[in-house]
Amino acid sequence: MICQLRKRKNAEKIKTEETRMLKIKQIWLVVFCVAVCLNACDSTSIFEQNTNIPQLNWDIESPVVFDVAINDTVNSYNIYVNVRNSSKYEMMNLFMFIQTTSPTGATLRDTFECILADDRGKWLGSGWGDIYDNRFIYKKNIRFPVTGTYKIELTQAMRTEQLKGISDVGVRIEHSYLK
């Protein structure tokens, strides 16, 4: 009789432990699913790449080039320019030339201004320490005319050979989801 009670108690302990382990596995599964969902929330972005500017010194003869594969000519997109600057950057704005070359060889060249500080010199964007991040809308609700690889070149246009204080520049392309 005592052996049967011990066996039953051991069986109950094992069942309780199995139930506890199952609950822990379920909790981890929920945490994993939530993490995957949160990571997928940025599904509007089809391309984002940033390039580090060596020693925070952007040479006028060193364009930053991005190759972007476009597979969709139906939907509309927004194109953004990302800029990361240090607090040692000496100007309020940044002018750059943006040249886009399509897969057919057609080129479009624009002059684009990024406002990095307000009139009182306060840095805009999000920052931590002495580094500030900004994202500027470059083109809104555009459609790419052909599929293939587009080349986007960013060249600083500040009339100085060596532009000090720019840490990174980049391009982001996302669906615009026009309504």
Answer yes or no: is pLDDT of 33 > 60: no
Which of 55-94 are b and which e, b meaning 16 or more Cβ less than 10 Å from the residue's Cβ?
ebebeeeebbebebebeeeeeebbbbbbbbbbeebeebeb
Average pLDDT over residues 32-60: 75
159 three-state secondary structure: coil
What pLDDT score does 1 carry? 64
Inform me whether the pLDDT recorded for 35 exceeds 50.
no
Asked whether residue 112 falls in the same domain as residue 161, the answer is: yes
113-163 confidence digits (pLDDT tens): 999 999 999 999 998 889 999 999 999 999 999 999 999 999 999 999 999
Pull the structure tokens for residue 24: 């822990």
> Could you tell me the CATH number of the domain that includes residue 110?
2.60.120
Per the structure, the count of domains in the chain is 2
165 DSSP assignment: T
Same domain for 121 and 60, yes or no, is: yes
pLDDT for the residue numbered 36: 41
Mean pLDDT, residues 16-29 taken together:
66
User: Domain check: are 157 and 171 in the same one?
Assistant: yes
How confident is the model at residue 21, as a pLDDT? 63
- The domain in which residue 86 lies consists of 45-175
Q: Is the pLDDT of residue 38 over 60?
A: no
